[in-house]
Amino acid sequence: MQRAQYTERGPVPQASITAVEFTLPPLGPGQVLIKVLAAPINPSDVLTLTGVYGMLPPLPAVGGNEGVGMVAELGPDVASPAVGQTVLLPVGAGTWSTHMVADAAKLMPLPNGVDPQQLAMMTVNPPTAHLMLKEFVDLQAGDWVIQNAANSGVGEYLIQLAKIRGLKTVNIVRRESAVAAVKAMGGDVVLVDGDSLPKQVAAATQGAKIRLAIDAVGGKSTDNLANCLTEGGVLVNYGMMSGESCVVSPSSFVFRDVTLRGFWLALWFRKATPPQQMAVFGELAKLIASGKLTARVQATYDISQIKEAVAAAAAGERDGKILMVPKN
At residue 265, what are phi and psi to the nearest 5 degrees? Answer: -60, -35
Contact, 9 vs 65, CB < 8 A?
A: no
Distances (CA, A) of 327 to 1, 99, 107, 133, 300: 11, 11, 23, 37, 10
Give the sign of the dihedral formed by CA 237, CA 239, CA 241, CA 243.
positive
Phi, psi of 185, deg, nearest 5: -75, -15
Question: What is the distance between the alpha carbons of residues 219 and 29, in angstroms, rounded to a whole number?
Answer: 51
Give CA–CA dist 131/128, Å, rounded: 5
Please answer whether residues 119 and 88 qualify as being in contact, where contact means their C-beta atoms are separated by less than 8 angstroms.
Answer: yes
Q: What angle do CA 173, 63, 53 make, to 5 degrees?
A: 55
53 catalytically annotated? yes
Q: How far apart are CA 27 and CA 16, in angstroms?
A: 30
CB atoms within 10 A of CB 180: 11
C-alpha dist (Å) from residue 60 to 44, 67, 119, 193, 284: 18, 20, 28, 40, 33
Catalytic residue among 6, 53, 157, 238: 53
Question: Alpha helices, DSSP H only, in the chain?
Answer: 43-50, 116-120, 125-135, 153-164, 179-185, 197-204, 220-226, 250-256, 265-271, 274-289, 306-314
| Measured distance CA(171)–CA(160) in Å, rounded | 12
Alpha carbon 114 to its chain centroid, in Å, reads 19
Residues known to be catalytic: 53
